[in-house]
Amino acid sequence: MIPQAVRAEAAALHEQIARANRAYYELDAPELSDAEWDRLFRRLQAIETEYPELASGDSPTRRVGGTPATHLPKHRHLRPMLSLANAFSDEELAAWEQRNARIAPTVLDAGYTVEVKIDGTAVCLTYAGGTLVTGATRGNGAVGEDVTANLRTIDDIPLELRGTGWPALMEVRGEVYFPLESFRKLNARREREGEPAFANPRNAAAGALRQLDPATTRSRRLRCFAFQAVPIHGTLTATTHAAMLATLGRWGFEIEPHHARCVDLPQVIRHVAAIEQLLPELPFGADGVVVKVDRRDLQEELGTISDREPRWAIARKFAPEVAITRLLAIRVNVGRTGALAPYAVLEPVELGGVTISSATLHNEDVVAQKDVRVGDWVEVIRAGEVIPKIVGPLRERRDGSELAWTPPATCPACGTPAVRYPDEVMRYCPNPVCPGRTLEAISHFASRDAMDIRGLGEERARQLLGAGLIHSVADLYTLTAEQLARLDRFAEQSASQLVVAIAASKAQPLSALLYGLGIRHVGKTVAQALARHFGTLARLRAADEPAIAAAHGAGPTIAAAVRAWAADPRTTALLDRLVSLGLTTTEPQASPGSGPLTGMTFVLTGTLPTLTRSEVASRIEQAGGTVTSSVSKKTTTLVAGGDAGTKLDRARRFGVEVIDEAELLRRAGPQT
Ligand code: IVH
């Protein structure tokens, strides 16, 4: 039994971390310091190690959609990875040159290399004998995370160097980035699937690099530019930075194409201005240029400032593109879970080559914190970011006619009183059949991981709603091919195909239905856990909160949300209707006694080399075995990893067989 206090603490940590992750990755407005985040994350990990049952699939320790996965092995760089000082004007660049000239006067006429500063995430690639042996993130500069398997999926990174002349051991530094086009596609897809968009390509790249499954990283199609080779054993023949870039190119790396050698600072300044002009057209995010003293002997002579940043390189940052415009109204968008998200309606204004007429305000706390009012003049920026952001109001331009905004007391779409749950920044419309959430709700219901209705994307859903043919997901099941064929852009064939696809979706298991219904806090994994645990919709509907909380992976927060949903008379009506329309309301149970591990009871201990505990547990269960938390006479096998403690001693005392992860995987057989 897991003590209630532990469950509650885990649930609270779960929410706190998820919320901090959202603030960091989606809103680009960190709420916690790195240290604080780490502390919470480690505490949650510790609890989940003690009680693996709590490590639900949607725990932040398991979710790495854009979330840092701190369980990645650490990697110590052979030489520190430095950061860069910034210059925000040409004068600051000149001052930098003067400072350097006092140390090494020859810098004045030795020349510079100028490169675009890519807005991605820094990586360090170790090559031994010309073979890629490790790839790591920058981390704190001294220690990063080992993401070798993920970096190996990036085609721009050579696994074996081409040509000749590389040092026996060296680190190559570069920037992994998300091309803007794939970034936009990724965000469009995430929005379609009801997942929040990434605030910028940098976060998306960092998230993609820290995935647990390299196949996911590969699917994101990351790219990489190399900009530095650091010899550890052996030497480089290149005596200048420009020559080093050319060498990296010959070895098989991609090099940022706009780099140039400039003879002196005035030429640097002209090249910087030219790059600034190009910025809106670049296929990758860039937040400035990097100016580097070209001669490597002078770089050496100039050295670094307390091992943190080099004197010989500086980032010349561009001022973000800014526009000033009028905030005409603050409106609220109803998301598929009922979240009420405020956004600003702006007087259309051009910013970075596109006309913008709205910008998200995220949630009511952001509105209050920025103190934006209807009628305000506001500053809007795009700082290498794709999504425009409201910086704040120009208070000095106020004339007293501006109106402070109050969050709506009722849902703007259906009038139901809005609710704000403790510890959540969003206000919600609790009406499960609110028409405001219908559009997103229907496309989510039809999405692949839910009811998988091919041919029913957002466009089609909008059309069906607009034509008044459907008002809720249940209405989908009453559509006829004749009705559809009368609509624009519906050929007879596609109309009957859609009707067939809708009918076929009735056979989707209960877990897909639960996920598709968009219950607050119920993602794919929780839906599966609930469906498996209860087996039928009727049993889930009849369950009280403690019974729901007892389902594998569900905690008190989820239980409360599911119970509130099930008890709502509007849910009751919807579910009754879906049942009468003939939807499947059961979950096929993994038949016990069917796998190679049938009849065996396992206990896990210590740190396993490649899989997390919950991954191992699910492999065992898939193969028919049972996992328990402590060693007893019933235990048949102990799976032990590094630092195994008392459980190992106990297992030996009971004469329980002890195996390692590799042996377990061999016995469990191929994954189903
Ligand atoms: S040089 C000692 N060159 O910017 C050399 N950095 O703000 C230090 N970056 O961590 C880095 N493009 O991730 C360098 N052409 C470029 C770059 C670049 C992007 C990133 C890099 C670094 C950060 C420093």
> In the predicted model, is pLDDT for residue 97 greater than 70?
yes
For the chain, helix, strand, coil in percent to 5 are 40, 20, 40
Tokens 């603050």 found at: 330
Tokens 């080779």 found at: 229
User: pLDDT by residue (tens digit) across 562-595?
Assistant: 999 999 999 999 999 999 999 999 998 765 557 8
Give the number of the atom of ligand 1 that is nearest the alpha carbon of residue 310.
2
pLDDT computed for residue 451 by the predictor: 95
Catalytic residue among 117, 292, 317, 647: 117
Helices (H), 488-634: 492-504, 510-516, 524-534, 537-542, 545-549, 556-567, 569-580, 613-622
Please give the distance, rounded to the nearest whole angstrom, from the Cα atom of residue 22 to the centre of ligand 1: 26
Please give, one letter per residue, the 3-state secondary structure of 162-228.
CCCCCCCEEEEEEEEECCHHHHHHHHHHHHHCCCCCCCCHHHHHHHHHCCCCHHHHHHCCCEEEEEE
Q: Which of 82, 115, 117 to mutate to test the pocket of ligand 1 (most atoms within 8 A of CB)?
A: 117
Structure tokens, 268: 């640097």
Please give the distance, rounded to the nearest whole angstrom, from the Cα atom of residue 184 to the centre of ligand 1: 24
Query: Are the C-beta atoms of residues 41 and 86 closer than 8 Å to each other?
Result: no
User: pLDDT by residue (tens digit) across 294-324?
Assistant: 999 999 999 998 778 999 999 998 877 788 9
Please give the distance, rounded to the nearest whole angstrom, from the Cα atom of residue 283 to the centre of ligand 1: 18
User: pLDDT by residue (tens digit) across 251-276?
Assistant: 999 999 999 999 999 999 999 999 98
Could you give all domains of the chain from N- to C-terminal order, each with its CATH number?
4-62 (1.10.287.610), 74-317 (3.30.470.30), 322-400 (2.40.50.140), 601-668 (3.40.50.10190)
DSSP type of residue 318 = P
| Alpha-carbon gap, residue 290 to 310, rounded angstroms | 12
Please give the distance, rounded to the nearest whole angstrom, from the Cα atom of residue 226 to the centre of ligand 1: 10
| Alpha-carbon gap, residue 96 to 84, rounded angstroms | 12
Give the number of the atom of ligand 1 that is nearest the alpha carbon of residue 119.
19
User: Inter-axis angle of helices 438-446 and 458-466, to 10 degrees?
Assistant: 130
| Alpha-carbon gap, residue 28 to 200, rounded angstroms | 8
Please give the distance, rounded to the nearest whole angstrom, from the Cα atom of residue 117 to the centre of ligand 1: 7
Report the nearest-CA residue for atom 13 of ligand 1: 122
Give the number of the atom of ligand 1 that is nearest the alpha carbon of residue 315.
7
Report the nearest-CA residue for atom 5 of ligand 1: 82
Q: Which of 123, 175, 292 to mutate to test the pocket of ligand 1 (most atoms within 8 A of CB)?
A: 175
Local structure of 669: helix, strand or coil? coil
The CA-based angle 51-565-562, given to 5 degrees, is: 10
Report the nearest-CA residue for atom 21 of ligand 1: 122
Residues lining ligand 1, CB < 6 A? 82-84, 115, 117-118, 122, 138, 175, 227-228, 290, 310, 313, 315
Instruction: Give φ, ψ of 47 to 5 degrees.
Output: -60, -40
Report the nearest-CA residue for atom 2 of ligand 1: 82
**Hey, how many other C-beta atoms are within 10 angstroms of the C-beta on 160?**
11
- Who contacts 384 (Cβ-Cβ below 8 Å, separation ≥6)? 119, 200, 285, 286, 287, 320
Provide the percentage of residues in the chain whose pLDDT is more than 90: 48
| Alpha-carbon gap, residue 332 to 648, rounded angstroms | 57
Tokens 């607050």 found at: 520
Helix (H) or strand (E) holding 17: helix 4-21
Give the number of the atom of ligand 1 that is nearest the alpha carbon of residue 259.
15
pLDDT computed for residue 364 by the predictor: 87
Report the nearest-CA residue for atom 17 of ligand 1: 117
pLDDT computed for residue 68 by the predictor: 42
CA torsion 492-498-500-503 (nearest 10°) is -140
User: pLDDT by residue (tens digit) across 145-156?
Assistant: 899 999 999 999
Please give the distance, rounded to the nearest whole angstrom, from the Cα atom of residue 288 to the centre of ligand 1: 10
Local structure of 385: helix, strand or coil? coil
Report the nearest-CA residue for atom 23 of ligand 1: 83
Local structure of 85: helix, strand or coil? strand
Mean per-residue pLDDT over the chain, rounded: 87
> In the predicted model, is pLDDT for residue 652 greater than 90?
no
> In the predicted model, is pLDDT for residue 645 greater than 80?
no
Roughly how many angstroms between the first and final C-alpha of the chain, as a whole number? 30
Please give the distance, rounded to the nearest whole angstrom, from the Cα atom of residue 190 to the centre of ligand 1: 29
DSSP type of residue 564 = H
pLDDT computed for residue 590 by the predictor: 62
Please give the distance, rounded to the nearest whole angstrom, from the Cα atom of residue 84 to the centre of ligand 1: 7
For strands 143-145 and 131-137, give the pairing: unpaired
Tokens 């193969």 found at: 623
Q: Which of 113, 124, 290, 299 to mutate to test the pocket of ligand 1 (most atoms within 8 A of CB)?
A: 290
Give the number of the atom of ligand 1 that is nearest the alpha carbon of residue 304.
2
Backbone φ/ψ region at 374: left (φ over 0), alpha (ψ -120 to 50), beta: beta
Is 117 among the residues known to form the active site?
A: yes
